[in-house]
Every structure is written in C-alpha cells, then in structure tokens.
Amino acid sequence: MHTPILDDFMFGVRRNLKPPDFRREECQLGVLTFSFKQDESDSPKGHSSSSSATSIIIGRAQLLKDLSHPNLCQYVEILKGRRDQIYVVSEHYDKSLLSEVEQSGPIVSIERLRRWTFQILCGLCHLKDHGIAHRNIGTNNILLDPKDNVKISNYGLFHMTVGGQEVNFPIGYPRYLSPELIVSNKRKRSQTSWKQDVWALGILLFELHTGRTFLSDAPTLSDLLTTIASARTHPETGVITNLTDIERWLEESSLDADLRQFAGACLCPDPTRRPDPQSLLSHSFFANIPPAPIPPSHQTTLADDVEIDEDDDGVLTLRFGRDGPVKRLNPGAPGKRSQPSDTDVRVVQPPERLTLREVFYLWKLSGGDVEVELAKQGLGWSPSIYRLPTHVRSESRVHRPAASHDGIKPDSVSAGSLSVNPRPAPVIVEERERELLELYSDRVYTMSLASVRSVLVEAADPNPSQSDSGGTKGSVETMPVNNAYFWFDSVLCPEESGDDVIPQARIPLATRERDMRYQYARMELFARMLLEWPTEKEQLIVEAKVDIPPIYRGKVWAALLDVEGDVNIEYLEIDKETETETDRQLDADIPRCHQYNELLSSPEGHTRLRRVLKAWLAAEQDRLVYWQGLDSLAAVFLSLNFNEEALAFACFQRFVGKFLGNFFVHDNSPVFQEYMCSFQHLLSFHEPALSAYVHSIGLHPDLYAIPWVMTLFAHVFNLEKVYHLYDKFIVGPPSLPLFFGVAILAQAKESIMTREFNECMLLFADLPESVDVDLCLTHALQMCKTTPNSLLPVAVSGGKLNSVDEDGESEGLESIDFLSRPVDVRKQELVGRVLFHDALKMLPHALVLDVRQADDFLSHHVFHSMNVSSLELDSVVTYLRLAAEETTYVLILADEDRSLAAIRLSQQLVSLEFEHVVLVDASFEILSTQAEFIGHLCGCECVSETFTKTTDGASPGDESTIEIEICHCSSAAPKF
C-alpha cells in the first residue's frame, strides 16, 4: 500500500521546519563567519587550495540545515563569500546563559538550572542522533528564547569542519575541555565523541551555579590546560580529585543533592565512567520532568493557519484559497510596525507562517546580502590599524585587552589558543597565533527580522505603492497563440488558449524570479497545493506551467513526476555499495561533473552522486546501463534535493523513465538513430531552409546533438539553465526536448546559414552561453502543437502508434507500412513521412500534391489535390507557393511506381523553403483500400493550367520554351 507522501517527509514544506517565533523581536538571524588560512604548507590534509576546504565544509554543512529541534537554533544557510570567507546564518537570540550570569550573577534557582540542563541534554541527544557532537559548548553558545527556553547555538562548527581538520583554528573553549581531550593527540581530538560535551556541561553548571568563570585565575593558557589535565578519578567512587575548584563546589553543603550527583557524574575525569547524554536524561535530577517532550509548534498545518487567518480582527487577514488570494489590510496597521505590540503581532502574520529559510530566501530577494550587511557592522574591510593583535603573548603571559574593537569578548580570545603546546611557546608561535585569531571570532553578527518582516507585510499589501509596480506589471507581450492547429494533441501547454493566459506569464521569467512580492505569493500558493497533493494535482500542473518558485522546485518536481510512497524505504533497500564494473567510470566522471557548483564539487556531493547513480544502476538491474552523461543528469536532481538523496533518486529515476528510457540500454544505436532521423525531419518540417542548408554542408545531427538528446541538455547548460528547462520539460510532452533542439538551431539560423561546416561546428561549442532558453522553449512549445505525431520517435509520440485502435482506426496499415521501413532508409530522406491517421487529419488542411501519372490522377484523386508529375518546379513555384499559403500543410502522395519522385519533390520543396511538407507514408494503392480514405477521393474532370518555362540554351538566342501543365481537382471539397 502506498502512503501518500503528504504525510511523511516530503511535503512537510511547512512541517519539517520549525516556524520561527516572529512575534518576538528577540528572534533574529545570526551570522557567524570564519575562514581558514591559505597556507599550502600548513593546509590540512594536504589540500592544495583553500577552495577545496570550503567545498568540504559547505558540503558537510548541508546536513545541519535539516536539523530541527525546539532546543536547537535552526541553521538557515551556509554561504561562501569573497576570499572563501564562510558565513553561517542561523536562528539567533540575544539572551544567552552568559548574559544571564553577567546580569544576575549566580543562578540560584534549582528549577531553572534543572530545566535548562534538561533542555541542553535534549538538544545534545538530538544532535547525537544525527551523529553530531557539539564540542563548542560555552555559556555564550547556549542561548535563551524569550520564554527562557534553551536554544543551543553554534553546534555545527565541529561537524562541518570535519572535527576542526579543515580549518586552522581550534574549536572549543579551553576551559571547557575535558582532561582526556587535552592529553590526546590532534587526530583523536577531531574524532566525534559526546563525552566531551558532557564534561563541558558539568563545567557549565559550575559556572552558572557559582557565577564564576572556571579557572579564571589561571595565569596562562598552559597553566589552565595543565590544571584540567591533572584531574584524576577516584578509583572507587569515580569522583573527581585533584581539581580543587570543582571538588570544593561539589562539596558545598548548600548544593542541591541531585544537582551535586548530576554534576559529579558529568565531571568524572575518566571518560569511560562518564555517562553519555542519553543516559543522563533519566538521571534522578530530572525525576519530575516528563521524559519525552513533544516539540511544540511542529504540528502546524495549513488548516490551523486558515483558522487563524479567519479570526477576523480587522487588522490583517490573509488567505490564499482556491478562489484566489483574499487579502485585507487595516489601513492603520502599517504605521504600527515600528512599535511591537499585541496588535502588531497580527500585522506580521504572513511571515509567521514561513520557515526561517524561506524568510531568509525572501530577504535575499528583497536585496538582502549577508556580506553587505556584515560590512555595515564592521566586518572585513576595516583598516589594518584596527586589525592589530587583540592578543599578544610576551614570554609566557597572556595579556588580554578588555574588549577589542569588534566586540570580541576577552573570553573568546582563548578560542585561538588551543593549538599552543601547554609548555611555554617559542616566540615564533605568537605570530601564527595572531594570524589564527583573524580567521575566526565568536562574534555573531545579527540581522534583525524586523526589516524582513516589514517588507513581507508590505508584500502582502494588495494595493502596492507605485514604487514597486514595475515588479508585477510588465509590458511584455503575451506569447502568441495559434489556434489553427486545434486538432493536434496540443497537450500540456499553458498558453493553450488566448483567453486563459495567466497575466504573470507575460513578464519575463527572470524578472518574476527576482520579484520578492511575486515569489512570496507563489510560495503561498505552491505550499498549499503541495500540502493538498494529490488532490490538487491538476491545479499544480496548471500553475507549474506558468512557473515554479525556485525555493520549492525539488518538491514540486517530485509531485509532478508522481513520486509516491516512502521513497526512503525504497532507497534504503537498494544495494548502493557492492562494487561493480561501472565504478571505475563513475570515479572518473563524478569529480568532473558540474564542478562549478559548490555542493556537487564537495566530497560530500561526490559521495552522494555516486550513491544515487549506483542506486539507479542497481534498480534498473541489467536493463539500463551507465553512459557518460548520466552523471550530469543525476546531478540536476541531487543538487535540488541534496539532503534528501532518496527523493533525488526517485525523481531522477522517474525523469529518465519519462524522457530517456531507451537511451541507456546496452546498445542504444537504434534508438539513437531514430531520434536523429526524427530530428532531421522535424527540422525540415519547421525550418526547411535551414534544414536544406545543414544537409547540404553535411552538418548532421549525429555530429552535434548526441549530448543534447542523451543528457537532455544537462551536459550542455549550467544547472541554472537546466532547472528552467526542466521546469517546462516536466510539465510538457515527452517530445518537448526534441523540439527544444530544433528551436536552438532555429535561433541560431542566421549564424548557421552564413557559415561553413567547420565554423558551424565551432558555433555549437559556444551554444551554452548564447542560447536563450526561454525563447527556445516558447518556440518549441509552438512547434509541438503543430507537428503530427508520426514525425516523432515512437518513444515520445505519446504511444500513438500502439494505440490507434482506440479511435477505431486501422492499426495494421501503419504498423506494417511504417515500421517496416528501416530507420537507415528513413534517415536518407530529408523529409518525414506521416502515418495514415495523421494524413487523414491533415487532408482538409493541406495542399495535396500528387505525383502519380496524369492519367491515374484524372481517374481518381483526393479532393482539391494537384498533380505535379513534372519536376520542373522552377516555373510553377510561385503558383505552388500561393496555393500552399491557403493551407497549413503540404502533403505529397505517390503510388508505388513514383515513390522516388515523391522523395525528390519533397526535397525540392524543402530547398525552396516550403514549410510543413510531409510525405504520406502509404502508397496510393494501399490508401485506396481504406474506407476512410476513399471518402476523400474525387473523380472530376480536373482543370489544367499551363505555365511556360524558358530554358537557357547552349548559346545566346538558343532559348527554348517548355510548356508545363498543372492539373488540379475542380470540385469543392465535401464537408467532413
């Protein structure tokens, strides 16, 4: 049984992530920034360039973004800035345990300590469940939300830097280091262990309860470290000895007995006897706290939102329903924005329902830039005089300035000092140390959400002020719609009828994607449709044809590709590990696949792409195999669903199935030949002059279109272009990619037709930059609608060849006639052939040229057809052109004797730039046996028109005149 994905991981667009509490001014975005020293000799693990370290960090940091827990600050984004500076954006609060102690001194309330400790442990356990140790605990890294709940912050640094290996600054505050860590070697220090966090928690409790900084009297860092390292465990009781401060504290008679026992357990110097976070949760200290707290606010559903919205308080109501957005805004409300109050809470409802990541996305769309924001706050470009050492060591004493210019608390300086050997350091280390300090500081730069909020509230304003009208109102024309071809299966095109054109579609896509107001509305709409999927599938398709909000692209594609059920279970069951012959090829290709992309170039990205590809190969077993280029295709889906490999795999698998199923078989040359043949015929059909030209210079699609059709352009364009392309491919017919290829040629038509073969080939190498994807897509969709299915490869023609009997049409005729003609024969023909059922549909709209002998034509012919038995077209071309203008298509009919003449005529017409020329696949003899066809026949007397043609003789004055007779049907066509 398939569970709808609605209820599990996938469409938890709003559920997975904890909605931030926007009601409180205290919730902010915090930015932590660091970089690493670009020093080859010192580079960790021998990386030759810092960028590889950056990519490692960014790759590993992706996991953090999906961690969600009430006691953890949500990670929002990890960005790479100039000079490989890394910016970590996360949820942030101004209050921390440090600020609490600084303000109010020792925390005497046992209840408060108990609750905090419990919440810290809950957070740490959640991290442990995901294989992450904090390793950076300190009173400044445990934040407090306005309800006095713990929000652990900065817990990802150790994880994302591979235990500190990828950066040249140490992680963790010296005074919280456990004894075993101080004496361990560097390699061991970078291993993930949760015992260190437990020790640090013990120290934290000491500091909170006493209000004192642990070992603040240590004269030097090495003294401090030596003191901690000298702690011993009592062999019988397991109690700490030889660390006076702690011992005294634990012996204080005023200390709560449970707290004493708890802290004593945390502060056991022997790591093997120290409990881990999970077991501490059931410690008697927490006897009165229920064991498994249900995370609040994780149950938010859209239904709740609607209720809240309909709680009409007259201030602001927002509802995006089926009948369109309902927005009401109290005119007085915007003025109140600056003063937070209960009424104000109502005003900020819309952003309240967004996740922090969504808010951040919108903030960026509205022009927000982390680097710019931080520069405003003094980061980065300060004159060098301000970058003088904040920490100078002379001999072995550390002088700490009270506070440095950029607000580094004296405490944080020690973060830079861990690499120092406990023994007095030689002078040369000082220089290094100072440099290391510049790589990292604890300072969290904050970005208030108030500004984002005000922009969003404004965005929800149904009556935008004039200033931003440019964003939503454009002057771009509607895409032209042609209804003349009503009867072809013009499926899946958003612009099907002129009346329904969605106004937004008139504005260029790039503008729409940059318009924060527009994106916000689209996000609302798509979030709702995803939640209600599959009920809303039809509407989802309609809206997706307009555009897909980039932030939801991965999920929307999954819905459109009908990804159902628990993809995680399916994915888990696939063997992705066993070595296969293909591995060598994968190892050669993956490190070369879309490497400009930060995620895909990271080691994490390589690992994941390899797994997705191996899973696909295993799932397809021996039916499909790996061809180079498949990596590029898989990368598209992985980059969109980086943290959800199973979803990436499921989308990739379905996409290949829909568009490329037959391309990855062992021997794909028959499929490939068929595509190339179709490509040529489509080009002749839509762009005859171009087709004739490329044919004449030998520029066959085999020479340039292999990566186009095999990777659906994933290997041709950069990912951004591919996303936009696939947005349309996914909601389009399977033949759309082929038409897109034709559209590319058409777009470059002028350049191609003025170039020789070599230059044309070189032109194709530059295509990725020059192609206008949007224009080509529009053109491709138009061509799609006017093309008979017969011209398409069977695999993408919508199965028409196999299902004609549904319409009661004869299938025997087509299957015998068409399929018996081998692809290499068809490929020699510049012009394509249509099958019987297409021919029948086309007859009323076509100029029918019959190349049979005149006598045969006179005896019976198709209504309104014309006998062109002569190939002296020059003199009649004007006449034919006029005739062709009246109709949509040019159909060429022949009997068996004259089939070659038909081919020659078709090629001539294409050379003469006649559009929409096709040959009828079946011979006249066969057609005449079909009842439907006989209805189209006429036996009239016909009329003739005579044209004269002057041919040049061998010498001047030697011209001769030839008379050419064109015979055509004189009857009016009957109504069909």
Partner 1 sequence: MTSRTSNVSSSSRGRDEPARPAPTSVAPAPPGKPFQVKLVLLGEAAVGKSSLVLRFVNNEYQDNKEPTIGAAFLTQKCRLDDKVVKFEIWDTAGQERFHSLAPMYYRNAQAAVVVYDVTKAPSLDRAKSWVKELHRQANPNIVIALVGNKLDLVVSSGVPRAVDAEEARVYAEEMGLLWFETSAKTGEGVSEVFTEIAKKIPFDLLTPRGRPNAITGAAGANGGQNSVAAGADGRVDLGIAGGAQAQSGCAC
- The distance of closest approach from Cβ of residue 796 to partner 1 in the complex, given in angstroms and rounded to an integer, is 20
CB 330 within 8 A of CB 463: no
**CA trace torsion 472, 476, 478, 479 (10° rounding):** -120
Q: Which tokens hold the place of 263?
A: 């802290």
Interface with partner 1, residue 606, by CB under 8 A: no
CB 663 within 8 A of CB 710: yes
Interface with partner 1, residue 629, by CB under 8 A: yes
CB 221 within 8 A of CB 161: no
Interface with partner 1, residue 710, by CB under 8 A: yes
Choose one: 29-37, 757-765, 891-899, 952-960; the region binding partner 1 (CB under 8 A): 757-765
Of 63, 69, 74, 68, nearest in space to 645 by CA? 63
Choose one: 98-106, 210-218, 375-383, 693-701; the region binding partner 1 (CB under 8 A): 693-701
- The distance of closest approach from Cβ of residue 736 to partner 1 in the complex, given in angstroms and rounded to an integer, is 20
Interface with partner 1, residue 905, by CB under 8 A: no
Amino acid at 300: T
Residue among 511 and 597 whose Cβ is closer to partner 1: 597
- The distance of closest approach from Cβ of residue 830 to partner 1 in the complex, given in angstroms and rounded to an integer, is 9
Residue among 208 and 710 whose Cβ is closer to partner 1: 710
List Cα–Cα distances, 788 to 415, 827, 840, 892, in angstroms: 70, 18, 11, 15
Residue 427: count of CB within 10 angstroms of its CB: 9
Interface with partner 1, residue 711, by CB under 8 A: yes
Interface with partner 1, residue 482, by CB under 8 A: no
Residue 121: count of CB within 10 angstroms of its CB: 24
With a CB cutoff of 8 Å and minimum separation 6, the contacts of 698 are 757
- The distance of closest approach from Cβ of residue 919 to partner 1 in the complex, given in angstroms and rounded to an integer, is 16
Interface with partner 1, residue 674, by CB under 8 A: no
Interface with partner 1, residue 758, by CB under 8 A: yes
Which residue from 697, 753, 877, 938 is in contact with partner 1, where contact means CB under 8 A? Answer: 697
DSSP secondary-structure letter at 72? B
Task: Compute the distance between CA of residue 43 and CA of residue 441 in angstroms, rounded to an integer.
Answer: 20
With a CB cutoff of 8 Å and minimum separation 6, the contacts of 823 are 670, 673, 674, 677
Choose one: 163-171, 500-508, 530-538, 760-768; the region binding partner 1 (CB under 8 A): 760-768
123-142 CB burial, b ≥16 within 10 A, e <16: bbbbbbeeebbbbbbbbbbb
Interface with partner 1, residue 778, by CB under 8 A: no
* Residues facing residue 945 across a β-bridge: 966
- The distance of closest approach from Cβ of residue 722 to partner 1 in the complex, given in angstroms and rounded to an integer, is 13
- The distance of closest approach from Cβ of residue 758 to partner 1 in the complex, given in angstroms and rounded to an integer, is 6
Q: Report residue 829: phi and psi, to 5°.
A: -95, 130
With a CB cutoff of 8 Å and minimum separation 6, the contacts of 290 are none
Residue among 287 and 765 whose Cβ is closer to partner 1: 765
Which residue from 197, 373, 547, 589 is in contact with partner 1, where contact means CB under 8 A? Answer: 589
Interface with partner 1, residue 54, by CB under 8 A: no
CB 458 within 8 A of CB 472: no
Interface with partner 1, residue 662, by CB under 8 A: no
Strand pairing of 397-399 and 889-893?
unpaired
- The distance of closest approach from Cβ of residue 910 to partner 1 in the complex, given in angstroms and rounded to an integer, is 12
List Cα–Cα distances, 489 to 538, 782, 801, in angstroms: 18, 12, 14
- The distance of closest approach from Cβ of residue 59 to partner 1 in the complex, given in angstroms and rounded to an integer, is 15
Choose one: 440-448, 639-647, 702-710, 734-742; the region binding partner 1 (CB under 8 A): 702-710
Interface with partner 1, residue 715, by CB under 8 A: yes
Which residue from 828, 859, 950, 951 is in contact with partner 1, where contact means CB under 8 A? Answer: 828
Interface with partner 1, residue 823, by CB under 8 A: yes
- In the range 228-257, which residues lie near partner 1 by CB under 8 A? none
CB 857 within 8 A of CB 709: no
Interface with partner 1, residue 628, by CB under 8 A: yes
- The distance of closest approach from Cβ of residue 53 to partner 1 in the complex, given in angstroms and rounded to an integer, is 15
Which residue from 340, 474, 603, 707 is in contact with partner 1, where contact means CB under 8 A? Answer: 707
Residue among 3 and 758 whose Cβ is closer to partner 1: 758
DSSP string, 699-764: --HHHHSHHHHHHTTTTTS-HHHHHHHHHHHHHS-TTHHHHHHHHHHHHTHHHHHTS-HHHHHHHH
- The distance of closest approach from Cβ of residue 825 to partner 1 in the complex, given in angstroms and rounded to an integer, is 8
CB 31 within 8 A of CB 362: no
Helices (H), 499-561: 509-514, 516-532, 537-546, 553-560
Interface with partner 1, residue 625, by CB under 8 A: yes
CB 924 within 8 A of CB 953: no
CB 152 within 8 A of CB 70: no
Which residue from 510, 762, 882, 934 is in contact with partner 1, where contact means CB under 8 A? Answer: 762
- Total site size for partner 1, rule CB under 8 A: 43
Which residue from 631, 644, 811, 895 is in contact with partner 1, where contact means CB under 8 A? Answer: 631
Interface with partner 1, residue 593, by CB under 8 A: yes
Handedness of CA 532, 534, 536, 537 (dihedral sign): positive
Rg (Cα) of the chain, in Å, rounded?
Answer: 36
Which residue from 447, 624, 699, 846 is in contact with partner 1, where contact means CB under 8 A? Answer: 699
How many CA atoms does the CB half-sphere of 156 hold within 13 Å?
30
Interface with partner 1, residue 757, by CB under 8 A: yes
Residue among 504 and 601 whose Cβ is closer to partner 1: 601
Q: Report residue 90: phi and psi, to 5°.
A: -150, 170
Cα 397 to its chain centre, rounded Å, is 52
CB 456 within 8 A of CB 520: yes
Which residue from 68, 673, 888, 899 is in contact with partner 1, where contact means CB under 8 A? Answer: 673
Choose one: 101-109, 482-490, 622-630, 889-897; the region binding partner 1 (CB under 8 A): 622-630
How many CA atoms does the CB half-sphere of 115 hold within 13 Å?
12
Task: Compute the distance between CA of residue 899 and CA of residue 904 in angstroms, rounded to an integer.
Answer: 9
Interface with partner 1, residue 660, by CB under 8 A: no
Interface with partner 1, residue 702, by CB under 8 A: yes
List Cα–Cα distances, 165 to 44, 78, 828, in angstroms: 6, 18, 62
Q: Which tokens hold the place of 707?
A: 């990566």
Which residue from 40, 129, 772, 824 is in contact with partner 1, where contact means CB under 8 A? Answer: 824
Interface with partner 1, residue 761, by CB under 8 A: yes
Residue among 401 and 707 whose Cβ is closer to partner 1: 707
- The distance of closest approach from Cβ of residue 759 to partner 1 in the complex, given in angstroms and rounded to an integer, is 8
Residue among 147 and 666 whose Cβ is closer to partner 1: 666
- In the range 717-756, which residues lie near partner 1 by CB under 8 A? 756
Which residue from 827, 833, 852, 936 is in contact with partner 1, where contact means CB under 8 A? Answer: 827
- The distance of closest approach from Cβ of residue 41 to partner 1 in the complex, given in angstroms and rounded to an integer, is 16
Helix (H) or strand (E) holding 612: helix 603-620
Interface with partner 1, residue 528, by CB under 8 A: no
Residue among 310 and 766 whose Cβ is closer to partner 1: 766
- The distance of closest approach from Cβ of residue 794 to partner 1 in the complex, given in angstroms and rounded to an integer, is 17
Q: In the 3-class helix/strand/coil scheme, how is 251-265 assigned residue by residue? A: HCCCCCHHHHHHHHH
Interface with partner 1, residue 569, by CB under 8 A: no
With a CB cutoff of 8 Å and minimum separation 6, the contacts of 621 are none
Which residue from 591, 661, 798, 844 is in contact with partner 1, where contact means CB under 8 A? Answer: 591
- The distance of closest approach from Cβ of residue 600 to partner 1 in the complex, given in angstroms and rounded to an integer, is 11
Binding site for partner 1 (CB under 8 A): 585, 588-589, 591-595, 601, 625, 627-629, 631-632, 667, 669, 673, 696-700, 702-704, 706-707, 710-711, 715, 756-758, 761-762, 764-765, 823-825, 827-828
